[in-house]
Structure 1
């Protein structure tokens, strides 16, 4: 019989027939649409066969008609298992509760291990993990995935450079790389301070060393600004120079801004679908009657049910579909010029650091060709030009 699973769900019975009309019994069952299978002759005038549970009541009239007797030997399938379970209801309920608790415990977070972090950084990490719901006793299905945890920690804790998040069974393992900020021992060895680039000195703060230039002096790249040799010619001493020397310098920036730009952005509309997955089969359980977007991007979050240390092929899938739309940005030449100035300014500020400042800008050249505004911009800035160099014997 090919429908083995169906028969098991509905129940089936092994029947033993005795009598002279056993063959006629089988033939009449087939004529009446009663399936029989695994028909075997066990003795003379005795047959063994299987029938469905729902066809049992139709057998006795056929047996009497064909001078046979039916004996029901084996009962198989879900209905008989349920009947046996009913006799041992307490045991069955206990067994089901045991499995439920075991599944629940297998899908909880039991420990969080953090490696490579200082105690104060580890405290900040645990505090952030608790904020996003990752803590001992949490259900794994209800907390963010490893990528989201990693992004949250990297964005909110400035003391770490990188963090790796891995889930092993019921434990989260985090490996942390902290930012190395060595003690600031400026100019630990004897040294001079020279100009890092051509500039006009605007202000100086010398704490150690002998200044050799003054405010408003024009200096060239590599020129000595503060000497590490102090004292008289006969009684000199070599030290590590320390100073901040700010100078007026210039940066030239080339910027191109297209007047027309096409790009894709998310509209903010999204569909969320939920599935129960069994192997490659997906059973929709929520959100499957939503309209489709003409342009979209799909994001999947797959979680698998765990039993002890095994990952079962049964799980939960959350599918987020975000709508994308094409946007055209049009600039007038005047608007493109302003955008170019902002781009160039941002680029220069990254180069001069947080202590630098822009005090002036001038567009040296501007053209409008091939749908683009091209500019060459000169920026006047104030920045620290001090650069430490060691004092070599003989200097």
Structure 2
């Protein structure tokens, strides 16, 4: 089978030999190393066989003076197929151009569908997509991947909480989740408001219920702040106590900061390479040679090529290699202490509710040595310390 494929690429000729002394002529061909097959007789003085195209010149030389008549009946194989294609080059070129056009059209953006967004939000999304180049009629190869589109839309449009982007064939499908409007107050069952933590009361806003503490009072965790029982003794009515009780609370945090640290940074140098990927085979298209950087990070982006409704095992891969350098940062001790203080403040803010405010800070302890600085800071915070606690059935003041 392997030899048959080789001879197909070389070219195959069907030869008819007519005359006397055919057997002697066949033996002469074999002695001269000519490969023939499918030998069959057409009569007493006629025989037919197949041979390789590149042996025809030897056949002509051997047949001189033999008195035999040589006819070439049939031509097969790649050389003759290629010749016929050249004779029909117009059809061939038309077929290639047709396939190229279909492939290009199959990789263009033909639709953008947005679901789950209000008209005003949808208009903003379309404008943002237009800025990114995601528009009908543009080739998908020149558009960023869906993860990047999703990230930019979420970051740049305040009205949306999340957006899912999916490319199906030639259409981008976007599923949008908008930010919810403030929820309507839910019905609350009868409850008290109690302290979540130790604090000193600085202000109170009671919407419903009876306050049982006052400003400047010091409270402990679980202590009653606003009662959900109102009315005269013995005629109490249970209500859902509502309001805010602002208290001064205290936090302590500790930060350890190395004086010397190393990290990787980009220096601005980069090399871009583009390859055509067919299965596991990669064919360089642009950007040849080795990467000369000692340390670098590679960002890869692969664009699949579609043909009508099929995804071909062919893709365009672009790689960006960014050079990295090792940077060493050394703080002065005074500078390190200030940075440690800022880090401590950020750490506390991350632990507090959004409405909480830091009103004071005091460094309790700070140490420094050759390797690091250690800072302990006490923070004073104003926050809502009230938490709902259901009223137990049968409870009365």
Range class of TM-score, shorter chain: 0.7 to 0.9
CA contact (8 A) 1:41 1:47 kept: yes
- Could you report, residue by residue, the CA deviation over 1:191-225 in whole angstroms, capped at 9, with x for unpaired residues? 33322222222233333333333333322222333
Matches within 5 A, 1:1-395: 4=5, 8=9, 12-19=11-18, 20=21, 22-23=25-26, 26=29, 30=33, 37-43=35-41, 46-52=47-53, 60-77=60-77, 80-81=80-81, 83-85=83-85, 88=88, 91-113=91-113, 124-158=124-158, 160-175=160-175, 183-185=183-185, 188-233=188-233, 237-289=237-289, 291-369=291-369, 371-393=371-393, 394-395=395-396
Q: 1:160 to 1:45 in 2, by over 3 A?
A: same
CA contact (8 A) 1:25 1:66 kept: no
SS in 2 for 1:355: coil
CA distance in 1, matches of 2:65, 2:133: 72
CA distance in 1, matches of 2:7, 2:374: 75
Q: 1:108 to 1:339 in 2, by over 3 A?
A: same
- Could you report, residue by residue, the CA deviation over 1:356-377 in whole angstroms, capped at 9, with x for unpaired residues? 2222211212233572222221
Moved more, 328-337 or 159-168: 159-168
- Could you report, residue by residue, the CA deviation over 1:63-115 in whole angstroms, capped at 9, with x for unpaired residues? 33444433233334555445544555554444333322322233234444556
Moved more, 275-284 or 175-184: 175-184
CA contact (8 A) 1:205 1:244 kept: yes
CA distance in 2, matches of 1:332, 1:295: 29
SS in 2 for 1:339: helix
Moved more, 160-169 or 374-383: 160-169
- Tell me the CA shift for residue 275 of structure 1: 0.9
- Tell me the CA shift for residue 250 of structure 1: 0.9
Unpaired runs of at least 5, structure 2:
none
What's the C-alpha RMSD, in Å, of the aligned pairs? 3.5
CA distance in 2, matches of 1:6, 1:13: 6
- Tell me the CA shift for residue 343 of structure 1: 1.0
CA distance in 2, matches of 1:273, 1:65: 64
CA distance in 1, matches of 2:371, 2:187: 52
CA contact (8 A) 1:187 1:388 kept: no
CA contact (8 A) 1:186 1:242 kept: no
- Tell me the CA shift for residue 5 of structure 1: 6.8
Q: 1:255 to 1:130 in 2, by over 3 A?
A: same
Q: 1:180 to 1:372 in 2, by over 3 A?
A: same
| TM-score (ref. length: structure 2) | 0.81
Q: 1:292 to 1:386 in 2, by over 3 A?
A: same
CA distance in 2, matches of 1:150, 1:29: 72
- Could you report, residue by residue, the CA deviation over 1:298-343 in whole angstroms, capped at 9, with x for unpaired residues? 2222223222333323221112212122122212222221121111
- Tell me the CA shift for residue 272 of structure 1: 0.8
Moved more, 289-298 or 236-245: 236-245
CA distance in 1, matches of 2:332, 2:60: 94
CA contact (8 A) 2:11 2:79 kept: no
SS in 1 for 2:64: helix
- Could you report, residue by residue, the CA deviation over 1:137-180 in whole angstroms, capped at 9, with x for unpaired residues? 44222222232233223333455555444434334445555666
